[in-house]
Structure 1
C-alpha cells in the first residue's frame, strides 16, 4: 500500500507540473490566435477583406504576356496526365506553356506526361540530367533553366511564372487573375482548397479544416497588413522580373537557380524573399462569375503515415531550416508572423504533454475512485489559467466549425470538430520526426525529396461548392 501511495503522490506532483506547463503555453498561444482573430474581424468590418470578382469575359481575356507553368514530377504517373489534360482544357487562353520536370529513371511519369500532352505545343516535358529524385527545388531550377533557354531562342520573355504540383486541379480563371494582379504586384498567392478524399474523412479531411481557416483568415490578415506572404508551392505566380532578381541573388552564392535546393520548403521561402527583395506580395480571394472561389483544388494524403511524412517536411523546412536560413525580420509584425509559422515543434511538444496530462488525470481518477487519492484544490492562478484555456478551446472549436462549414457544408463543419484530435496526433508525430531529421541534418545528412505519393486526383471528385 505504501508503494501505491508513493506512485500516486508522484503522479499528483507530475500532474501539477504538466498543468502549469500546458496551461501557460495554451494561454500564450490563445492570446496569439485571438490577436489574429481580432485583426481579421476589424479588417472585415472595415471592408478591407472583401473578396474580389472576375467576370466571364475577363476570365477569357488574352494574357498580356505569356505565362510559364512549372510542375516538378517524380513518380506521378497516376495523376500527371489528369493535371495536364485538365489544365489544357480549363484555361481558355493560349498564351502559356506547361513545363513538366521529369527524370530519366522515371519512365512511367514521362510516358504519362507525353501521352497527355499529345503533341500540344503548350506542353514541354523537360528531362533532368540527374537521376531522381533530387529535390523539388532542384527540379524546378532545371525547369527555370529550360524556360530561360527558350526565351533566348525565340527572343521573347515570359510575363510571369506559375508554380503547381502534379496533382493540382486548376481553376479556369486562374491565369487571368494572375495577369491582372501582377500588373501591380510581384507575387500572388491564391487559396488552396483540399478536396475530401473518399475513405479518408478523418486524415485527409483535416487538411480541409486547416487550409480553410488559414486561407480565409490568417492569410487575409497578412495581406491586409502588408506582411510577407508564404508561397504554398501551388496556385502562386511570380513576376518575371522578381524571379530574375531572386535568381541573381541565389546564383551569386553559387546556387543553380532561384529555388533553394537545400531547403525542403523552397516555396515558403520564395514567398518571403519577395518582400525582402523589395517586392509586393498579394494573397487574393476572388470569385468567378458563378460565385465559385478561384482556388487550386487538390487531394491531400489519405493515410496517417503519408500525412505525417508530409507535415514532417513542412515543419522541418519552415521551422528548423527557415530559422537557419532566413533568420528573423527586423519589423516586429513580420517577426511575429514568422514566429507563428515556426511554432510547429513547440505546438507538438505542448500537445504531447497535454495528452500525457490526460493519461495522468485518468490514472489519478482511478486512484480517487479506489480511495487512495484525495484531490487538493488548485491554486487560484492555476484555476484562472485553466478557465482561460477552456474558453479559448471553445472559441477555437467554434472557429474551426464555422470556417469549415462555410466552405464545405454543415456536415463537414461538425466533422471538423471531431477531427481535432486527429490533427493533434499528426502534429505530434510530425514534430518528433522533424526534430530527428533536423538533428541528422546537423550531422551532414543532405535533405532528399521525401515527397507525397499521389493516387487520387481532384478531377475524380468533381467540382465541389466553393
Structure 2
C-alpha cells in the first residue's frame, strides 16, 4: 500500500503540471479570442476578393513511395481545384516503384503542369531525400527557363486540397516567409475509433494550439502538408545545408522546416480562414485506420519531434518558445506517465476488492494527495470538454461526444508509440539509418466527397 500511495503521489503531481500547462494554454486562447488577437476571417476579409491568378510561379512538391492507390485521385482533384497556369506539380517517385509512376501518368492526362521526377535511387530512402530530389528538379527548371518560383508548397500523396488554398498561401507570403494551413483529419465510418481519433487531435491542435502559437509570435512548425515556403527562404536554407533544404537525417523534416526558417529570422504564420460557405480552408485527409499503422506513424512523430528535436534544434531562451518546445517534446514522458496511471487504476481496483473482502485495510489518504486528486479530476473534465468542443466545431456534436471516449484510444496508441520511439532513438544513436517508415494509404477523400472539397 505504501508503494501504491507513492506512485499515486508521483503520477498525480506530474499530471497536475500537465493540467496547469493546458489551463495556461486555454486561458491564453480565450484571452486572445476576447481581445480579437485570434479570429477566423472569411475569404473576402482575407483579401482574396477579385484576385485573378498568382503573384508568381508556384511549385508543389509531392514525394511518393508506393502510393499507387491514392496519388491518382490526389492529382486529379488538385489539378481541377487549382487551375492556375502558374502552377507546377513535382511528383517524386522511385525507379523501383513502377505502379506509382503509372498512376501518376494516368491521372495527369497530359497536363503540362505536372512533372514526374524519378529518383535515381531505389526506394524508399527518406522522405527528406525525396523532397531534396524534387528541389534539385525545381532548381534545374529555374536555371533552364530563367523563371524562378515564388513559393514552394508541400503536400503528401493522399491529400485533398481546398480550391482556395493556393491563392490564400500566395497572398499570405506577401507578409511571411512560411505559412501553414490547418489539416483536417476526416472521421472514418469504417474506423470510428482508431482512424477517427486523429480528427480530435488535429481539431484541437490546429484549432487552438497552433493558433495560440501564431498569436504569441512563436515559431510555427510545419505539418508537411498545406504549407508554403517563400522560394528565397528555401534557397537560403539550402545554401546553409549544402544544397539540400530538407534534413535527410531527420524523421520530421517538415516539423523542423518552419522552426529553422524562424531561427534564421523568417516570419512564420498559421492561418485559419473560412470560405463564404463556412468551410475551413484546410487540407483534408484520411489518417491510418489500423492500430499497427497508427503506432508506426506516431512513433515517427514522437521520435522526430520529441527525441531528435532535442538533439537537433536544442532549446530556446525565449520564454514563449521554450514553453512551446516543452509542449512539443513531452510525448515520451507523457507515455510513461500514462503507463503508470493505468497501472495504478488496476492496483486501486484490486485494492478495493481486497478491502471489500476484509483482507486489507484501506490506505490512508494524505491532504496533499486529496488536493491533487481533485485538481486532476477537474482538469480531466476540462480536457474532455475542450476536446469535445473543438471536434464538434468541425465535425458536429456526434463526433464531439465520441471524442471523449476516443481519448483512451489516443492514450493507448501514444503509450505503444512511446516505447517504439525510445527503442528507435537508441538505434539511431548506435548508427541505424533513417528510412521512410511510411504508412499505407488506400482511401482518398476526393472519392468519398466527390466535387465538394469540404468535410
Matched, 1:238 2:229: yes
Q: 1:289 — aligned with what?
A: 276
The question of whether the paired residues in 2 share the 8 Å contact of 1:84 and 1:113 is answered with yes
Alignment of 1:318-357 (within 5 A): 318-357=305-344
| Superposed displacement of residue 51, structure 1 | 1.0
Q: Give me the whole-angstrom Cα distance separating, in 2, the residues matched to 1:166 and 1:59.
A: 31
SS of 1:58's equivalent in the other structure is coil
Which residue of the partner structure matches residue 85 of structure 1? Answer: 76
Q: Aligned runs of 1:263-278 on 2, under 5 Å?
A: 263-278=250-265
Partner in structure 1 of residue 2 of structure 2: 13
Q: Does 1:425 align with 2:420?
A: no
2:43 aligned residue = 54
Task: Report if aligned partners of 2:200, 2:390 keep a CA contact under 8 Å in 1.
Answer: yes
Tell me how far apart the structure 2 counterparts of residues 320 and 259 of structure 1 sit (CA, whole Å). 18
Instruction: Tell me the residue number matched to 2:176.
Output: 185
Question: Equivalent residue for 2:290?
Answer: 303
Tell whether 2:32 aligns with 1:43.
Answer: yes
Q: Structure 2 unaligned runs (5+)?
A: none
TM-score, length basis structure 2: 0.97
Whole-angstrom distance in 2 between the partners of 1:356 and 1:420: 17
Distance 2:83 2:280 in 1: 17
Instruction: Spell out structure 1 runs of 4+ moving beyond 6 A.
Output: none
Q: Deviations over 1:330-351 (max 9, x none)?
A: 2121011011000000000000
Moved more, 38-47 or 369-378: 369-378
> Partners in 1 of 2:392 and 2:413 — Cα distance?
22
* Match of residue 443 from structure 1: 430
- TM (norm. structure 1) is 0.95
The answer for the alignment partner of 2:139 in structure 1 is 148
Conserved 8 A contact 1:58-1:176: no
Match of 2:13 in 1: 24
**Residue in 2 that maps onto 1:206:** 197
How far off its partner does 1:57 sit?
6.7
Secondary structure in 1 matching 2:428: helix
Deviation at 1:465, TM superposition (A): 5.7
Q: What is the alpha-carbon root mean square deviation over aligned residues?
A: 1.3
Secondary structure in 1 aligned to 2:49?
Answer: helix
**Match among 392, 405, 411 for residue 379 of structure 2:** 392
TM superposition shift of 1:461 = 2.4
Asked whether the 8 Å contact 1:274–1:280 carries over to 2, the reply is yes
- In structure 2, distance between residues paired with 1:390 and 1:372: 29
Query: Whole-Å Cα distance in 2 between the matches of residues 61 and 378 of structure 1?
Result: 68
5+ residue gaps, structure 1, are 1-11
Residue number in structure 2 paired with 1:5: none
Count of aligned pairs between the two proteins: 451
Residue 163, structure 1, aligned to residue 154, structure 2: yes
- Give the direction of change, closer, same or farther, for the CA distance of 1:60–1:305 in structure 2 (3 Å limit): farther
Q: Does 1:134 align with 2:90?
A: no
1:102 offset after TM fit, Å? 0.1
Paired residues of 1:407 and 1:465 also in contact (CA < 8 A): no
C-alpha contact (below 8 Å) 2:160/2:446 kept by paired residues: yes
Contact 2:211 / 2:270 at 8 angstroms: preserved in 1?
yes
Deviation at 1:59, TM superposition (A): 7.8
Any idea what the Cα deviations from partners look like across 1:176-231, whole Å, max 9, x if unmatched? 00111000100000000011123100001110000001111111100011000010
